[in-house]
Amino acid sequence: MEKPLLQFHLDPDAAHIAVLWLQALKSERRMALKTLEAYAHDMAQFGEFLAGHLGEAASVKMLTELTASDFRSFMAKRRTAGIQSRSLARQMSAIRSFFRHAERRGDFKCAALGVVRAPKISHSVPRPLPENSARRVAAADVFENDEAWVQARDAAVLTLLYACGLRISEALSLTVKQAQTNPIVVLGKGGKTRIVPVVQVARDAISTYLKLCPLALSPNEPLFRGVKGGALSPRIIQLLMERMRGALNLPDSATPHALRHSFASHLLGAGADLRVIQDLLGHASLSSTQVYTEVNRTHLLEQYRKAYPR
């Protein structure tokens, strides 16, 4: 990822190190483009703060001499701007990554960053939909005035999210040829691939969509299309979920990604092995999957309290 040096608000030498850092994240850690853009934005905000805080664009020497107070001042300013703990923690993670990269390369080292604590993040767990609600959403039959092929398309997309645990970006990136194989090879975050079996209900939904779709679909082109023939935008599915929340009286947490959470949680509740769920979701670490054990425990406690309020 090439970025004009001035966008980092650092002096040319320091900004050049930032460019090399982003290139390393892309080539060595294979970070997704969206993550790289977020890290670049985070570093630019830090550089902009330093320019005002120090009175000029920060040089390599200035970065070396930053104190814990300088980093805390940055966090305080971001807090004043209304940033939440989770976003600030991610921003500090990006800044630490940049400084670690510079130290590994021998460019400079800032000892003060090591004593700065990351913001505390309130613990939260995914919020899956109840099984009957997830099934109703995946059917996409709430709005009868939609065209038949559009309704079939929406049902196929939502079924892939719930029945196969795909991310919305993964479902919408499928080609016609890919969708007609089983299992399918999914390209996930960071360019990582995984193999996902397509259950019968998802195969049927895709087959119905292909039969009804009035557009000419070539094997290597996107499977899901908008009404004008272009690749289907994620925003269309997000707006569909917003409409469904109103029609089905669902909470604000009912998003396309909540269907993926529902997939994992319902599988775990049915007795599936945690490692298997990890592979199906494409999680690099088992700890990312283990959060669903807490989801199920939280749900069980809620049901207990309803049954025994005293």
d(CA 175, CA 196): 15
Beta-carbon contacts of 24 under 8 Å, excluding residues fewer than 6 positions away, are 101
Helices (H), 82-233: 85-105, 131-139, 148-164, 168-172, 176-179, 200-212
How far, in whole angstroms, is CA 125 from its chain's centroid? Answer: 15
- Helix H or strand E encompassing 194: strand 193-196
Neighbours of 271 (CB within 10 A): 6
Per the annotation, the verdict on 9 as an active-site residue is no
Beta-carbon contacts of 54 under 8 Å, excluding residues fewer than 6 positions away, are 62
Per the annotation, the verdict on 41 as an active-site residue is no
* Choice among 225, 260, 261, 266 that is catalytic: 260
- Helix H or strand E encompassing 187: strand 184-187
* Choice among 26, 135, 257, 299 that is catalytic: 257
Per the annotation, the verdict on 292 as an active-site residue is yes
The string of DSSP letters for 53-118 reads HHSS-B-HHHHHT--HHHHHHHHHHHHHTT--HHHHHHHHHHHHHHHHHHHHHTS---GGGGGPPP
* Choice among 283, 306, 308, 310 that is catalytic: 283
How far, in whole angstroms, is CA 265 from its chain's centroid? Answer: 18
Amino acid letter, residue 42 = D
Number of helical (H) and strand (E) elements in the chain, helices listed first: 14, 2
* Choice among 167, 225, 261, 266 that is catalytic: 167
* Choice among 26, 127, 189, 203 that is catalytic: 189
Per the annotation, the verdict on 189 as an active-site residue is yes
Active site residues: 167, 189, 257, 260, 283, 292
